Amino acid sequence: MGEELRFDGQVAIITGGGRGMGRTHALSMARRGARIVVFDRGVDLDGSGSSTQPADDVVAEIEALGSEAVAFHGSVTDEADAAAAVELALDSFGRLDILINNAGISDPALFEDQTVQQFRTMLDVQYMGTVLVTKAVWPHLMQHGGRIVNTCSEGPLGIHEKMTSYGGAKGGVIGFTTTLAAEGPKYAISVNGFSPRVSTRLSAPEVLAKVYDKPAAAFEKSVARYTTDLASPACVYLAHDSCALNGVILVCGGGEVFRLAYMANDAFHRDALSIEDIAANVDTIIDMRSAHNVGVGIAGVADLGR
């Protein structure tokens, strides 16, 4: 185990910081010296309602640790609120170094049962919420560099049903993360993704029971294994100034961490490619044993201008 990674003097905005995964990020970083803006509207699981209590409670917890924090009760779906959260960070602490886009909702249902409005709401929170807060933060990080960590998911991989709205929106977050990472290094900004394997209210036994049509008791063991404490370290590492990664997505949970990446295999080639060529060689075409990473990949510290 190496030297403790500290965030002394640094300021982070954490959306969805009032509960679950975001709360754990906030407390972990505060213990390591960061000052935190806890950005949380306190909505219900499906995005409805609001409450000031979740953000206020986390601020109180951070202050009890001897660290500093402020609560912001706005919505990530509101462009003015996103800008106001940034201004609160600057007014309260005089700087801004880190953004963790963690706010999210869950509304599982079969595709044929979901309304168009449910898809729009999911996109507004998961995707546009990430875009809007990043857009508000970006000009300030351009001045002195910084780190952005977007909460992604394995949902876009189609690992289970009833998640088309969620998986589609999170697929957008993955694309946003990897493409923005291509622009970040010229401003000394790293943009990475964090995909938690964790049991929170978004993936509690009763939610998983609805997704898989099984009793909630079937998922209770996972609650003990997939705690927020065992997922958060990957996100906090990606937010640290010593991290040289850019355009990388780390999946973490249950004490395990690994990389999730876009992969491509070696191309099958014919000068006059036909439908019949593809049909005759489809097994070779889809064989991923020669797969290699595509995309931004890993940038060195020098490439990020640090």
Active site residues: 166
Q: How far separated are the first and last CA of the chain, in Å rounded?
A: 24
CA distance readout (Å), 45 to 64, 92, 202: 28, 30, 7
Q: What is the DSSP string of the chain?
A: --SPP--TT-EEEEETTTSHHHHHHHHHHHHTT-EEEEE-----TTS----SHHHHHHHHHHHHTT--EEEE---TT-HHHHHHHHHHHHHHHS---EEEE---------GGG--HHHHHHHIIIIIIHHHHHHHHHHHHHHHH-EEEEEE--SGGG--SSS-HHHHHHHHHHHHHHHHHHTTGGGGTEEEEEEEE---STTS-HHHHHHHHTS-GGGGHHHHHHS-GGGTHHHHHHHTSTT----S-EEEEETTEEEEE--EE-PPP--TT--HHHHHHTHHHHH--TT-EE-SS----TGGGT-
Q: Report which of 207, 40, 31 is spatially closest to residue 109, judged by C-alpha positions.
A: 207
Q: Report which of 56, 50, 20 is spatially closest to residue 36, judged by C-alpha positions.
A: 56
Give residue 265's Cα distance to chain centre: 27
Residues contacting residue 83 through CB under 8 Å, at least 6 positions apart:
136
